[in-house]
Structures are given as structure tokens and as C-alpha cells.
Amino acid sequence: MTDQLRLMAVHAHPDDESSKGAATMAKYVSEGVDVLVATCTGGERGSVLNPKLQGDPYIEEHIHEVRAKEMDEARQILGVKQAWLGYVDSGLPEGDPLPPLPEGCFGLQDVDTAAGTLVRLIREFRPHVITTYDENGGYPHPDHIMTHKITMVAFEAAGDPERYPGTGEPWTPLKLYYNQGFNKTRTLALHEALLARGLESPYGDWIKRFEQSDRPERNLTTHVPCGDFFEVRDKALLAHATQIDPDGGWFRVPMDVQREVWPTEDYELARSRVDVSLPEDDLFAGVRGA
């Protein structure tokens, strides 16, 4: 392959790109890969999770604009391009029974229709590789699950000239991955490494949830070495100031421990149109030189 490699990361909200695969993207940008983040919603219904900013009336009234500015700062830190799909955040319904999703939100869109918006972007950007969430959304937020659904449809449809006419010249992406950075194996390894060093672990509750879950473990096929870019990842995450507490659990694991114990970001290969040999250490394995 003599063409410039291109990677598209499809995410539900601004900040998801910085918590899931950010170091991978920064690594590939440093190697000359063209990287585009497709953000499905504006995060309009997201809560202000940083306690230092909670109660700010300007932020609460202008959350859409604030999160857009945060996204732009994170984009610049990572060195990626970014496009909005233009859907409205569904929020995270809570209660028993769960309340209905708000009218017009992303989670209530017709899947095939919403996928057309992503097909148009795929045909414009022409990615060789796409990343997104698995069928559980990584966690069961309605926007994450819908992101998975439209990405699966768009991956299959973008190269078919009979589908979504009028959305650009067909383009066939070659590989599709699910982000699996928050996997049990990594979490346990970091947890045990911290305890062995006499340090406090932020993962105790995570491990309890893993133990109580009846979901099977995911098949981690691809481990991208990107420890040199963990600081870039954290800087991009901190740019989403409304969503991230700089004194919170995200940043309690010393960088040297992260690099020693788990210096990769991890993925599950979901679709491939090229020959692969698993496990991999490169999202473009089988694409380079094809």
C-alpha cells in the first residue's frame, strides 16, 4: 500500500476519544497516519462530573458549547481530525423501571438512517481501519450501543454502490476493531502491581464488578504498544475539564507502573477483509503492503 494510511475512530460523545484509544491515535499520528475522530453526539445531556466545576451556571447553561471547545482542545493535543455526526445526546437513564429516552435523541434514531451519516463520512475520509465499541457499548449507555449499531451497518455498506446513493463514491474499509481498553486482565495486572508496591489501587470496585458480571471475557486480539504516548492521552483527557477530575482515579496509577505493567492499548478484531495472524500489535497489520 503506497497510499497514506487512514484510521477512523467512531465515538459516542466528546471525551470518549480521549479515554478509549487516545494513546494509539497519538502514536499513529506520530507515524504519519491520518486519523479522524467521528463524534456521534455533542454530549449535551452529559453531567458535569468534575466536582470543581459543578454548580457553575455558565457551564450548565452552555454545556454543548463548552464540550465542543473541550473537544477541539483534545483534538489538537492528539493531533487528529474530528467531525461531528450531529446527533443529540440521549443521556443515561437511571431508575427502575428505566424512564424512556428523550424524543429525538441519538439512541432513538432509525439505525439504517443514522448509519447513512457515517457512510457519507467514511466515503469522504476513506479509512483503511475503523475502531468503535462492541455490542454492549463498552458499558450499556444508549449512545454507545447505538454507535456500535450504526458503525457495523456503515462498515458493511460503505463499499456497496447500491447502498446509500448520493453519499459519495463507495469506499471499502478493511478492518474493524472494538475498543477493549478496560479489560479484566489489564485491570487485575495494574491492581496487583500497585498493591505489590504498597500503593493504593483505584481498581477495587472495578474488580468487584468484573467478579459479579456474567458477561464472558472478550477476545483481546490486538495489543498496540503506545506507552510513550500515555502522557498525551492524559493531557487530552484533562482537556475535557467538565468530565474529568484531575485528582480522580484516572490519574492515580504512576506512569512508570503503567509502562512497565501494561504499555499497550487493547482491541478486539471484529471484521477483517485482509488476511491476519493473531495476536497482532498493529491495527494496520495485513493492510500495510497490501
Annotated binding-site residue numbers for Zn(2+) = 13, 16, 144
Q: Alpha-carbon distance 155 to 263, whole Å? A: 29
Instruction: Write a three-state SS string for the chain.
Output: CCCCCEEEEEECCCCHHHHCCHHHHHHHHHCCCEEEEEEEECCCCCCCCCCCCCCCHHHHHCHHHHHHHHHHHHHHHHCCEEEEEEECCCCCCCCCCCCCCCCCCHHHCCHHHHHHHHHHHHHHHCCCEEEECCCCCCCCCHHHHHHHHHHHHHHHHCCCCCCCCCCCCCCCCCEEEEECCCCHHHHHHHHHHHHHCCCCCCCHHHHHHHHHCCCCCCCCCEEEECHHHHHHHHHHHHHCCCCCCCCCHHHCCCHHHHHHHCCEEEEEEEEECCCCCCCECCCCCCCCCC
Q: Binding site: residue ranges?
A: 13, 16, 144
CA 104 to chain centre: 23
